[in-house]
Chain A
Amino acid sequence: MSQSGLGKSTLVNTLFKSQVSRKSSGWNREEKIPKTVEIKAIGHVIEEGGVKMKLTVIDTPGFGDQINNENCWEPIEKYINEQYEKFLKEEVNIARKKRIPDTRVHCCLYFISPTGHSLRPLDLEFMKHLSKVVNIIPVIAKADTMTLEEKTEFKQRVRKELEVNGIEFYPQKEFDEDLEDKTENDKIRQESMPFAVVGSDKEYQVNGKRILGRKTPWGVIEVENLNHCEFALLRDFVIRTHLQDLKEVTHNIHYETYRAKRLNDNGGLPPVTTETEENHESNL
């Protein structure tokens, strides 16, 4: 999630070491910025070590690009809630499937523009609204535009602003299960995040190794070099250590919150698929 041009597609490709973003799915990047926020979901099946994963990448072209961006997060909030609704319907079905198809959004990477100053008003508005319905992981995009000093200062300022504005990004403090979790997550929350990343789908030869990077006239930026940027930290965090937890928090917390609210609105009864129900759904 971000304004256009902050490297979302490239980063996702880099994360999953395969062409999984809209950019590589033939959508012409050179086309105009859409006038309204669009939601484009593309599913892929990737495999590693015998483990198959169905990965769905949801992109939101048009977000934050207009002159007037008021409420541009609404279509996104709507989409997320629609997925919860779909799951809920399936769950309360009498003859429900054994494995309910899960289209819920487990993680939202929010890209912050590396201005070096602070968050933008749009960033605050978006994260305030959406941290209540989905796991948000803020990421500083195109971090190769900041020196080490600037990066450290910027991260501190962003963390402070998020705290002051009561924005709970993933991993949320209140969901730490035990002391071990808390210690590990505290360190991530207070020191590492937001991860300052650089993405690239081009390979270069550095010191005899082929690495993903960006070649500038003054040097090669190595994406997976921790001295250069925190891409590797983000990748390990999202994929190697917290992938399952992201799904669990989505299911046990965000989804349950949605479900409880829906049941409450319906007088404690599960929603029934009737004519009126269909109308109700469209009002969400």
Chain B
Amino acid sequence: TSAGGFFKNKLCETGVFTDHEKQYVGFATLPNQVHRKSVKKGFDFTLMVAGESGLGKSTLVNSLFLTDLYKDRKLLNAEERISQTVEILKHTVDIEEKGVKLKLTIVDTPGFGDAVNNTECWKPITDYIDQQFEQYFRDESGLNRKNIQDNRVHCCLYFISPFGHGLRPVDVEFMKALHEKVNIVPLIAKADCLIPSEIRKLKERIREEIDKFGIKVYQFPDCDSDEDEEFKQQDRELKESAPFAVIGSNTVVEAKGQRVRGRLYPWGIVEVENQAHCDFVKLRNMLIRTHMHDLKDVTCDVHYENYRAQCIQQMTSKLTQDNRIESPIPILPLPTPDAETEKLIKMKDEELRRMQEMLQKMQQQMQDQ
């Protein structure tokens, strides 16, 4: 890439090929071409948020993407919540920045962990994730693959209560049910109720428990060995800060003469983007500025592939059980075709049948001769 960069600059500067440059083929411009096409196509990202209600999930999402997605939300009172089940709600918003378009989908999970009996309250969520995988699997195996919509969940922000002493049983069960289906990024919510020493202790405790229970949270990839020291230092700090202790805010306050997103208390002002106050900036940078693509890659290359392999394996074992086919080659489930495709299939079937008939007639004639 450094070589490509060098040549790219040269091109920009002179606008004319020098003799030296005529020696090179020119595919070093590929990254630019990819960039242009990607920008034209736009990007999409699906983010799930999960955790008990009242942990500031909505506020954080609004702070991360500078949106106001929950304007018309009606909060349930305690009595209404008694009979509430876990729901899956999707909000999609198209945002644009410097010509780059992002179709952002937020998947909300209201009701999770709120009931008196929360047994298997994560099931609607794992079902939802599986459904998106299944949908993609069908689309991928289908006849018309031009406009596959990718609704797979690329990342799940899991909010841990700052009021506990570590992970609660429901936290452990949730993460274990989902860690092989989606990238889990655990967060410590409402971190402004903790003093620095408490945050340190809590992070340590959570890290220990994640290890102890064998929970596989999203791992930040190691940076390349040829990166500069500053970048490596930042990368180290990022990894050491996990789980991020975050604060969100929908309001702007005045602090030190500047207007910032924050929370105004009688004893001081908490600034969301102040790194000495919380890890919001680290989370935003990681999620949006540096690791968004990796999150998508891991979803596609690891979680989805796991799902697909499992699916195929199940189908194979089912088929060999039924003794319908002995070959190990799995038959992919055909998706329910749309009307036009059905017509096409019918036509082809007819053609085949006619050809078979003709063949039979010909064979008959040959025999008769």
A-to-B contact residues, CB < 8 Å? 3-7, 29-30, 33, 65-70, 113-125, 141-142, 144-145, 147-148, 157, 161, 164-165, 214-222, 227-228
The closest CB in chain A to the CB of B247 belongs to A145
Chain B residues contacting A70 (CB-CB under 8 Å) are: 116-117
Known contacts A121-B82, A121-B114, A157 near B77 by CB under 8 Å: yes
The closest CB in chain B to the CB of A122 belongs to B116
The smallest beta-carbon distance between A80 and chain B, in angstroms, is 20
Chain B residues contacting A120 (CB-CB under 8 Å) are: 78, 81, 114
The smallest beta-carbon distance between A75 and chain B, in angstroms, is 15
Known contacts A5-B165, A67-B169, A161-B78, A218 near B266 by CB under 8 Å: no
Within B240-295, the residues touching A (CB, 8 Å) are 263-271, 276-277
Q: Is the interface of B mostly helix, strand, loop or mixed?
A: loop
Taking a contact as CB atoms under 8 Å apart, the answer to whether A65 and B78 are in contact is no
The smallest beta-carbon distance between A103 and chain B, in angstroms, is 29
Within B154-205, the residues touching A (CB, 8 Å) are 161-165, 168-170, 173, 190, 192-193, 195-196
Partner of A65, one of B81, B169, B195, B270: B169
Known contacts A3-B164, A145-B192, A228 near B82 by CB under 8 Å: no
Which 3 residue pairs are nearest across A and B when measured between Cβ atoms? A115-B54, A219-B268, A218-B268
What is the interface size of chain B, counting residues whose CB is below 8 A from a CB of the partner? 43
Taking a contact as CB atoms under 8 Å apart, the answer to whether A147 and B263 are in contact is yes
Partner of B54, one of A3, A66, A117, A144: A117
Taking a contact as CB atoms under 8 Å apart, the answer to whether A117 and B75 are in contact is yes
Taking a contact as CB atoms under 8 Å apart, the answer to whether B75 and A118 are in contact is yes
CA of A157 to CA of B79, assembled, Å: 12
The smallest beta-carbon distance between A197 and chain B, in angstroms, is 12
The smallest beta-carbon distance between B357 and chain A, in angstroms, is 65
Known contacts A66-B169, A116-B54, A216 near B192 by CB under 8 Å: yes
The smallest beta-carbon distance between B75 and chain A, in angstroms, is 5
Chain A residues contacting B55 (CB-CB under 8 Å) are: 115
The smallest beta-carbon distance between A33 and chain B, in angstroms, is 7
Chain A residues contacting B82 (CB-CB under 8 Å) are: 121, 124
Partner of A144, one of B78, B116, B193: B193
The closest CB in chain A to the CB of B269 belongs to A218
Taking a contact as CB atoms under 8 Å apart, the answer to whether B165 and A113 are in contact is no
Partner of B266, one of A214, A216, A227: A227
Task: Name 15 interchain pairs, CB-CB below 8 A, sorted by A.
Answer: A3-B164, A4-B165, A67-B117, A67-B119, A67-B121, A113-B54, A114-B163, A120-B81, A144-B192, A145-B190, A147-B265, A217-B276, A217-B277, A218-B269, A222-B267
Taking a contact as CB atoms under 8 Å apart, the answer to whether A118 and B78 are in contact is yes
The smallest beta-carbon distance between B6 and chain A, in angstroms, is 45
Partner of A217, one of B78, B114, B117, B196: B196
Instruction: Judge whether B53 is part of the interface by a CB distance below 8 angstroms.
Output: yes
The smallest beta-carbon distance between B256 and chain A, in angstroms, is 11
Instruction: Judge whether B3 is part of the interface by a CB distance below 8 angstroms.
Output: no
